[in-house]
Amino acid sequence: MSLHVLATGALTTVQDRGRRGLAHLGVPRAGALDAPAAELANRLVGNDSDAAVLEVTLGGLVLTTDVGAWIAVTGAPCPVEVDGAPRGHARPEWLAAGSRLRLGTASSGVRTYLAVGGGIAVDPVLGSRSTDTLAWVGPARVEPGTRLPVGPLARRPAPHDTPRPPRAGPLRVHPGPRVDWCAPHALQTLCGSAYVVGSASNRIGLRLEGPALERVRHLELPSEGMVLGAVQVPPDGQPVVFLADHPPTGGYPVLAVVEEADLWQCAQLRPGESVRFTPA
Amino acid sequence: MHLRPFGPHALLAEVADATEALALAAWARHTGLVVTDVVPAAGTVLFDGLAPDEAASLRSRLATWNPPKAGGAAPPETRLVEVPVDYDGPDVAFVAEQWGTDVEGVVARHTGTDFVSAFCGFAPGFAYLTGLPDGLAVPRLDSPRAAVPAGAVALAGAWCGVYPTASPGGWRILGHTDVSLWDATRSDPALLAPGTRVRFVRA
């Protein structure tokens, strides 16, 4: 059984929980940027939490299916239509064989997740079905015309067993390894002001604009390993939060690290929206 | 060794240089540490994805680690890979001038050096190879090339590297190789994983 993709919007990729343990070979982790939304979609259709889903950027996905399937749409809310009739968000819906699913433009947020009962069953690459958009390890980007195989159903949907989506709030930060490369008040500056999301933000990093974070050391930092959620301070002082497709090593000092449980919000912030940080 | 906390699940160990980082990473991988990633780099080793009680245990174990003696021989179990090179790169004359020799001199020096993959970064399978003395360091291009082909063998500073895939790049290109540096379908996808010994030979 397979899904036949007719339109993808700005960017649609296959994502699971990512490719772990290969940073020393230069391979980004990848994986769904809004992990709780992807997990919710999987639970709604009865999948295991490591099943692969589609990550759709700002809506615009259109596909047909050749057999009946349970689906669930989570993350950034957008109109969900099956053969032109509206369907629900964040609940299991039955997609009959031959019907056509359309995700409209997201009304807020950035990334919408589509889970299918049985999971997207493209061949894994190095243990994961995630596409990383930095080095393009993993399945090819989903394009109009792509056929996506779907795996066998693990179990029936269990809608009453699903968790509520997490609540939004300021991003909690822990001190990073290079606090001493920044001015003593840099963490306070980061936590004391609103930062605006820049238009160059993507799956690699959330680029922020706001009060510059001052550095006291201006030497070049030899490249060192980076973690998910690292807040890098480039020479211009405008912070970048590293997301799932971040390079495994980097050469700018890391002032802080965003609490992993808060990172889903970075997946849903639009350019021009503001974000605040708070000490963890 | 200086340990820097890197958020709640990671530790960054600062060591003297890339050789020490490689040795520490190799040692740590054999201690049965519960960790997702061990990432050596130019002067650090990142331990990422530490289980909650593992950071304290790692700190005490690291206190018992001693760096290998300078100039010590590579452990006998390390793999040796030969990489055949055509020395036809656009910067080979520039490197010859920097080294005060001719193209033949560059080839002799490059093929006569024992390199070791210290760490990977920049792109999957892109290995930073140590072996050249600091005195032979060459500057990067002022402005990176928009496209460097896969297989380009190049220098930056005292590092040598081979581009696994086509990408922009600012390293000085000595030549090219036809060997596959990166193949995600192989069980060992990176030909020059950290710790691999490398000899360049004329193609």
Are A222 and B7 inside 8 Å of each other by CB? Answer: no
Tell me if B41 and A20 make a contact (CB, 8 A cut-off): no
- Residue in chain B closest to A249 (alpha carbons) equals B121
pLDDT in tens, B32-68: 888 999 999 999 999 999 988 888 889 988 988 888 8
CB atoms within 10 A of CB B27: 18
- Sheet containing strand A147-149, strands side by side: A85-87, A80-82, A100-103, A61-65, A2-8, A147-149
pLDDT at site B74:
54
Q: Looking at residue A17, what DSSP letter applies?
A: S
User: Smallest Cβ distance to A225: which of B8, B39, B126?
Assistant: B39
Q: For residue B96, which phi and psi values (nearest 5 degrees)?
A: -60, -45
Q: Report how far residue A114's alpha carbon sits from residue A78's, in angstroms, rounded to the nearest whole number.
A: 11
Q: What is the mean pLDDT of residues A195-211?
A: 97
Specify the range with the lowest mean pLDDT, choosing from A35-49, A244-258, B23-37.
B23-37
Q: Stretch B76-98: mean pLDDT, rounded?
A: 93
Q: Do A224 and B7 touch (CB under 8 A)?
A: no
At residue B164, what are phi and psi to the nearest 5 degrees?
-75, -30
- What is the overall mean pLDDT for chain A? 95
- DSSP 3-state assignment of A191? helix
Cβ atoms of A45 and A70 within 8 Å: the answer is yes
Burial (Cβ within 10 Å: 0-12, 13-18, ≥19) of residue B133: exposed
Contacts of B78 (CB under 8 A, 6+ apart): B116, B195, B196, B197
**CA gyration radius for chain B?**
18
The domain limits of chain B are 2-62, 80-202
- Rounded mean pLDDT, B156-180: 95
- Within A29-90, strands assigned E span 53-57, 61-65, 69-75, 80-82, 85-87
Task: Give the up-direction half-sphere exposure of residue B106: CA atoms within 13 A in the CB hemisphere.
Answer: 27
What mean pLDDT is predicted for residues B73-91?
85
A224 near B6, Cβ under 8 Å? Answer: no
Reading the block at residue A257, the tokens are 């690290």
| Sign of torsion over alpha carbons A32, B10, A186, A232 | negative
How far apart CA B130 and CA B161 sit, in angstroms, is: 9
> When comparing pLDDT for B75 and B88, which is higher?
B88
- Which amino acid is it at A222? P
pLDDT at B72 > cutoff 70: no
The beta-carbon neighbor of B5 closest among A23, A175, A247 is A175
Which carries the bigger pLDDT value, residue B28 or residue B110? B110
Model confidence band, residue B73 (pLDDT cutoffs 50, 70, 90): low
Tokens, residue A67: 């057999």
Sequence length of chain B is 203
Q: Supply the pLDDT for residue A154.
A: 83
In chain A, pLDDT over 90 holds for what percent of residues?
A: 91
If you average pLDDT over residues B140-146, what whole number do you get?
Answer: 91
- Band the pLDDT of B77: cuts 50, 70, 90: low
Could you give the residue ranges of the DSSP H alpha helices within chain A?
Answer: 35-44, 186-192, 264-268
Average pLDDT over residues A15-19: 97
Q: What does the mean pLDDT of chain B come to?
A: 92
Percentage, residues of chain B above pLDDT 70: 96
Torsion of CA A20, A25, A28, A30, to 10 degrees: -40
d(CA B41, CA B65): 18
The dotted CATH code for B80-202 is: 2.40.100.10
Q: Which of A93-107, B56-70, B111-125, B166-180 has the lowest mean pLDDT?
A: B56-70
CB within 8 Å of B135: residues ≥ 6 apart = none
Find the DSSP H helices in chain B: 18-29, 54-62, 92-99, 103-111
pLDDT in tens, A161-183: 666 777 889 999 999 999 999 99
Cα gap A75→A55, rounded to integer Å: 9
| Predicted confidence (pLDDT) at residue A158 exceeds the cutoff of 80 | no
Backbone Cα Rg of chain A = 19
Q: How far, in Å, CA of A37 to CA of A44, rounded?
A: 11
Residue A157's pLDDT is what? 83
Q: What is the pLDDT of residue A231?
A: 97
Beta carbons of B122 and A26 less than 8 Å apart: yes
Rounded to whole angstroms, the Cα distance separating B71 from A54 reads 51
Per CB distance under 8 Å, which residues of B are interface residues toward A? Answer: 4-10, 12, 25, 36-46, 48-49, 119-126, 165, 184-185, 189-190, 193-194
B81: which strand partners? B198
Q: B172 in helix, strand or coil? A: strand
How far is CA A65 from its chain centroid? 25
What is the fold of B2-62?
Gyrase A; domain 2 (3.30.1360)
Cα distances from B40 to residues A61, A247, B45, B137, in angstroms, run: 40, 14, 4, 21
- Spell out which residues of chain B touch residue A126, defining contact as CB-CB under 8 Å: 184, 189
Query: Does the distance separating the beta carbons of B10 and A24 come in below 8 Å?
Result: no
A83 vs B142 pLDDT, higher one = A83
Query: Does A124 have pLDDT greater than 90?
Result: yes
Residue A271 has pLDDT above 70, yes or no: yes
- Classify residue B201 by burial, with Cβ atoms within 10 Å: 0-12, 13-18, 19+: exposed
Domains, chain A, in order of start with CATH, read 2-161 (no CATH), 171-279 (2.40.100.10)
Could you give the angle at the alpha carbon of A261 between the alpha carbons of A255 and A262, nearest 5°?
Answer: 60
Cβ burial A210-241 (10 Å sphere, 16+ → b, else e): beebebeeeeebebbbbbbbbbbbeeebbbbb
CA distance B47 to chain A (A): 9
pLDDT of residue B69: 73
Determine the pLDDT at residue B75: 59
Q: How far is B193 from chain A (nearest CA, A)?
A: 6
